[in-house]
Amino acid sequence: MNTLWLYTTIILTTFSLKAHSNPTCNPNDSMTLKHFMNGMESPIPGWTSNSSNCCNWDGVTCDLSGNVIKLELSKKKLVGTLVNSFTNLTNLRTLNLSRNLLKGTPPVSLFHLQCLQVLDLSANEFSGSLPDSVNLPMIQLLDISDNNFEGPIAVGFCINSTGIKVLRLGVNYFDGEVPLEFENCSVLEELSLDGNFVSGMLPEYLFRLPRLLRLTVQDNAISGQLRNSEVSSLVYLDVSLNYISGRLPDFFHLFPNLSYFAAHSNNLDGRMPFSLVNSRSISSVVLRNNSFSGLIDLNCSAMLNLKLLDLVDNKFTGSIPNNLPACPLLKTIDLGGNNLTGQIPETFKSFNSLCYLSLSMCNLNNLSGSLQILHTCPNLTTLVLSRSFDNEEMPSDANLQFKKLKTLVIPSCKLTGRIPVWLNGLTKLRILDLSWNELTGSIPPFLGSLQSLVYLDLSNNYLSGEIPKSLTGLPDLQFHDNSLELSVEFPISMRRGTNGKAFKYSYGIRFPPTLDLSNNFLTGPVWPEFGNLINLHCLNLRYNELSGNIPSSLGNLTSIETLDLSHNDLTGEIPLSLVSLGMLRKFSIAYNNLTGIIPSGGQFSTFSVSSFEGNPGLCGEFVLSCVKKQKSFQIREYEVIEESLISLPVWTGFGTGFLFAVILLLVLPRIRDKQDTDKFE
Ligand SMILES: *[C@@H]1O[C@H](CO)[C@@H](O)[C@H](O)[C@H]1NC(C)=O
Ligand SMILES: *[C@@H]1O[C@H](CO)[C@@H](O)[C@H](O)[C@H]1NC(C)=O
Ligand SMILES: *[C@@H]1O[C@H](CO)[C@@H](O)[C@H](O)[C@H]1NC(C)=O
Ligand SMILES: *[C@@H]1O[C@H](CO)[C@@H](O)[C@H](O)[C@H]1NC(C)=O
Ligand SMILES: *[C@@H]1O[C@H](CO)[C@@H](O)[C@H](O)[C@H]1NC(C)=O
Ligand SMILES: *[C@@H]1O[C@H](CO)[C@@H](O)[C@H](O)[C@H]1NC(C)=O
Ligand SMILES: *[C@@H]1O[C@H](CO)[C@@H](O)[C@H](O)[C@H]1NC(C)=O
Ligand SMILES: *[C@@H]1O[C@H](CO)[C@@H](O)[C@H](O)[C@H]1NC(C)=O
Ligand SMILES: *[C@@H]1O[C@H](CO)[C@@H](O)[C@H](O)[C@H]1NC(C)=O
Ligand SMILES: *[C@@H]1O[C@H](CO)[C@@H](O)[C@H](O)[C@H]1NC(C)=O
Ligand SMILES: *[C@@H]1O[C@H](CO)[C@@H](O)[C@H](O)[C@H]1NC(C)=O
Ligand SMILES: *[C@@H]1O[C@H](CO)[C@@H](O)[C@H](O)[C@H]1NC(C)=O
């Protein structure tokens, strides 16, 4: 709130200033910015060294006297160091420009701009350590997150800059312990150290900072126990992905305003403390991937604000708590990966607030009864029950209705029976995963009339018959549509890239548009109309008994990244049109009865022999002579195509934005049969 207020004030100030003609830049500030600019390895967009009025430069805001009060250079691809390029006086004197413009005034570092209120250098490539001294007396917001800064954090931020409200140092390479540094930050409202290598214990004084509302230290190397003995003003606390151990202290009564508490992926154990399960303020509890045990015993008559409960992968026992519907706002429940038993409680009937329920890898029984209960929840949009049931029959009651359901995931339950008719009524369904069951019969044509379906996984069943042609008419696979909005807000988590740098992603549901019918007994042709599904990213039909030619229209699948037709009875030649599929990264037509010449060029130059082997009539780069027949190529059956969803950067937006969404990664079975392990990992 206060940050918003701060921004609003600044924006309003800015507008009122822009109404006047721009003032002339204070020469001291001008010089600082020119030094800064010249220290960069590449030009700063919108800055010109020939216009002496730096108030006109992009991202620079001045007050009426020409003092620079705001510098916003987020995401400009800036490369350079702060310390050496503009606090090192030796360096500065060697700059050509400085000599022209200095006029004898000593240079002032960017961290000594006397009127600066906002300094935003986030999402650039700055490196080096922090400057030795900071004197920004007017600063309110300082954001240097998502750069390559390193070294310890100690600078004394709040000694000279006593008015600092927002300090974002996340996603850099800072190390050392959390220093005493912030003790004097008496008006600090937000402190973020996410995604660094900070170690040691989390100092207790941070909880006592009188104005602090938001503290995030996710994904560091913080160890020891959490401690606090005084009332804290915190509203948002995230200590996830550290090495915090032992019991979670019974201290939540000291956080009267705490709304979001995340401590996932630490080494916490014991029961959830009394003050937590009785908290009136908390709306999100994220404790996944720890060793909490005991019963899940929330006091819903106290937890009036609870919206999200994520207790995945702990050691909780007992049955699914039947009092959860008494938490009036509870929307998102994920209890997967605990040793829970029994059934979905009767009390879940008409659980009005429930949107998202995931109970993967819990030892539940009675799927039929569970669905009878859950289909009365009016707002349920996501239901994930991977590996929760064992050897039951797929419920076939035609009365089951899930009017708002968008995601239905029930794989690896050894379900028998057929693909049920009641799916026909799930008109909002976008994601359907019934893979790794023992379903028989044919694929019902009505699946093709589910208007919103973009992800269909029926692989690894005993389905037979032809692929219904209707699947080639799924509207959302025919048009590009990346607006798969998340129905529920999920916690943001961190993940390290190969360079050791953290990036953010959300657990929310986003799946690449997929048709996976592999490992069944499907017969008949690969319909030429599959070529209409231009939004499809993955088409997997391997290990079936499909016959006929590979339609050349598949060359129209401009979004396709994975195309696997291997282990079928396909004949004819490989259509030349496939060479034009520029996004194709995984391709196999191995073990069919194809003939002719393997086309070359395009993505085909990146595929190895394993994509083509097992087709005695095929000649090409790898198979020099058709006469030689099947050379003794190594058969690596499951290696060809499968790759994790993570590796589909185009679709997930990994390359462009940091919000990278994976979900069933966390809720789908991780202990699937060997053959499947490569699928969602
Ligand atoms: C520039 O800095 C010098 C030294 O700090 C100071 O004396 C002078 O008043 C400053 N000039 C302006 C225009 O602020
Ligand atoms: C500044 O330099 C650019 C080229 O770098 C030039 O196009 C422009 O006219 C110059 N402006 C002034 C005011 O000299
Ligand atoms: C300043 O730069 C010079 C030359 O690059 C270097 O030798 C010196 O160590 C630097 N001083 C500081 C304090 O960084
Ligand atoms: C300073 O820069 C100008 C233009 O960039 C160049 O013409 C001049 O030779 C430079 N002077 C020195 C001493 O490097
Ligand atoms: C505070 O500002 C003064 C004057 O610029 C500077 O010498 C000192 O190093 C600064 N202190 C800190 C802790 O940065
Ligand atoms: C906080 O400020 C007080 C008074 O200015 C000072 O004595 C103390 O050293 C400061 N604490 C830190 C950690 O810098
Ligand atoms: C909690 O929030 C209320 C209302 O915003 C505020 O008055 C109160 O001071 C806060 N409590 C703490 C301990 O900060
Ligand atoms: C679970 O937590 C451990 C550390 O306790 C971490 O190494 C691991 O990556 C976490 N797993 C997930 C899926 O986040
Ligand atoms: C799960 O809990 C049951 C008792 O409820 C216990 O017998 C069983 O050993 C537990 N399983 C695991 C893997 O902890
Ligand atoms: C859920 O559904 C009910 C009945 O359809 C509706 O009144 C309510 O507003 C919905 N939303 C929530 C969050 O309960
Ligand atoms: C799809 O492919 C076929 C055969 O390659 C071609 O004739 C047709 O024009 C393509 N359709 C579209 C919409 O590109
Ligand atoms: C492959 O096709 C040829 C004719 O096109 C046929 O004679 C042969 O039996 C087929 N091989 C297999 C293994 O199906």
Mean pLDDT of 571-577: 95
Per-residue pLDDT band at 29 (split at 50, 70, 90): confident
565: β partners: none
What are the Cα distances from residue 172, in Å, to 58, 126, 130, 132, 136?
25, 10, 11, 17, 22
pLDDT value at position 98? 21
Beta bridge partners of 562: 538, 586
Assess whether the C-beta atom of 577 lies below 6 angstroms from ligand 3. no
Ligand nearest to the CA of 178: 6
Q: How far apart are CA 582 and CA 561, in angstroms?
A: 8
Helix, strand, coil fractions of the chain, as percent rounded to 5: 20, 25, 55
10 Å CB burial of residue 398 (0-12, 13-18, 19+) is exposed
Residues 293, 271 contacting (CB under 8 angstroms): yes
Task: Indicate the residue type of 289.
Answer: N
Helix (H) or strand (E) holding 495: strand 492-496
Protein residue with its CA nearest to atom 14 in ligand 7: 233
Q: Which residues pair with 61 in a beta bridge?
A: 70
Nearest residue (CA) to ligand 11, atom 8: 553
Mean pLDDT, residues 640-663 taken together: 30
Q: Where are the alpha helices (H) located in 154-295, listed in sequence order?
A: 157-160, 205-208, 274-277
The CB of 378 under 6 Å from ligand 10? The reply is yes
Q: For residue 173, report the distance from its CA to the centre of ligand 3, in Å.
A: 22
Q: Which amino acid is at 591?
A: Y
Confidence of residue 514 (pLDDT cuts 50, 70, 90): very high
Domains (ranges, CATH) in the chain? 1-128 (3.80.10), 144-154+164-294 (3.80.10.10)
On the question of pLDDT at 156 being above 60, the answer is yes
- Per-residue confidence (pLDDT) for residue 9, from 0 to 100: 47
Residue 122 and residue 145 in contact, taking contact as beta carbons nearer than 8 Å: yes
pLDDT of residue 636: 36
**Which ligand 10 atom is nearest residue 353's CA?**
14
- CA 666–ligand 5 middle distance (angstroms): 47
555 lines ligand 11 (CB under 6 A): yes
The pLDDT value recorded for residue 324 is 96
Q: Which residue has the higher pLDDT, 99 or 256?
A: 256
Q: Tokens for 292?
A: 């909490």
- Non-local (6+) Cβ contacts of 677 within 8 A are none
Q: Which of 563, 564, 537 is nearest to 653 (CA)?
A: 537
Q: Pocket of ligand 5, candidates 159, 162, 180: which has the most ligand atoms within 8 Å of its Cβ, to mutate?
A: 159
Task: Assess contact for 262 and 253: CB atoms under 8 A.
Answer: no
- CA-based angle 499:150:38, to the nearest 5? 100
For residue 26, the ligand 1 atom closest to its alpha carbon is: 13
Mean pLDDT lowest among 71-85, 209-223, 350-364, 657-671? 657-671
| pTM, full prediction | 0.78
Is the pLDDT score of 245 beyond 80? yes
Spatial separation of the C-alpha atoms in residues 362 and 412, rounded to whole Å? 12
Tell whether the model's pLDDT for residue 67 goes beyond 70.
Answer: yes
- Write down the H helix ranges in 544-663: 649-652
The average pLDDT across 198-220 equals: 96
- Whether 646 shows a pLDDT value over 50: the answer reads no
Q: Are 207 and 226 within 8 A, CB to CB?
A: no
Q: How many other C-beta atoms can be found within 10 angstroms of the C-beta atom of residue 469?
A: 15
Instruction: With a cut of 50, say whether residue 1 has pLDDT above it.
Output: no
Cβ of 137 closer than 6 Å to ligand 5, yes or no, is no
Beta strands in 345-480 (DSSP E): 356-358, 363-364, 382-384, 407-409, 431-433, 455-457, 464-466
Residue 515 scores a pLDDT above 70:
yes
455-457 and 267-270 strand pairing: unpaired
Region of residue 75 (left: phi > 0; alpha: psi -120 to 50; beta: else): left
CA–CA distances in Å: residue 85 to residues 75, 177, 185, 200:
19, 27, 28, 32
Residues 316 and 670: their CA atoms lie apart, in Å, by: 18
Closest among 360, 274, 285, 375 to 330, alpha carbons compared: 285
Ligand 9: residues whose CB is within 6 Å? 317, 339, 341
CB 205 within 8 A of CB 183: yes
| Structure confidence at residue 507 (pLDDT) | 63
Handedness of CA 5, 7, 10, 15 (dihedral sign): negative
Cα 351 to middle of ligand 10, angstroms: 9
In total, the chain counts a number of residues equal to 681
Question: Residue 5 in 3-state DSSP?
Answer: helix
Q: Is the pLDDT of residue 345 over 90?
A: yes
Best residue among 480, 556, 574 to mutate for probing ligand 11's pocket (most ligand atoms within 8 Å of CB) is: 556
Lining ligand 8 with CB less than 6 A are 265-267, 289
Closest residue by Cα to atom 8, ligand 5, is: 133
**Which pLDDT band, with edges at 50, 70 and 90, does 34 fall under?**
confident
The Å distance, Cα 592 to ligand 12 centre, comes to: 9
d(CA 89, CA 94): 9
Q: What is the pLDDT of residues 105-151, one digit of tens each?
A: 223 467 777 788 888 888 887 788 888 788 888 889 998 888 888 89
Ligand 5 atom 3 nearest Cα: 135
Rounded distance from Cα 264 to ligand 10 centre (Å): 30
3-class secondary-structure state, position 380: coil
Residue 51's nearest CA partner among 30, 36, 69 is: 30
d(CA 178, CA 200): 7
Q: What's the CA gap between 303 and 449, in Å, rounded?
A: 42
The response to whether residue 23 sits with its C-beta less than 6 Å from ligand 1 reads: no
HSE-CB of 565 using CA atoms within 13 angstroms: 23
* CA nearest ligand 5 atom 13, residue: 156
d(CA 545, CA 592): 10
Whole-number percent of the chain with pLDDT over 70: 81
Would you tell me how many other CB atoms lie within 10 Å of the CB of residue 418? 17
* Most distant pair of Cα atoms in the chain: their distance: 87
DSSP 523: E
Closest residue CA from atom 7 of ligand 12? 593
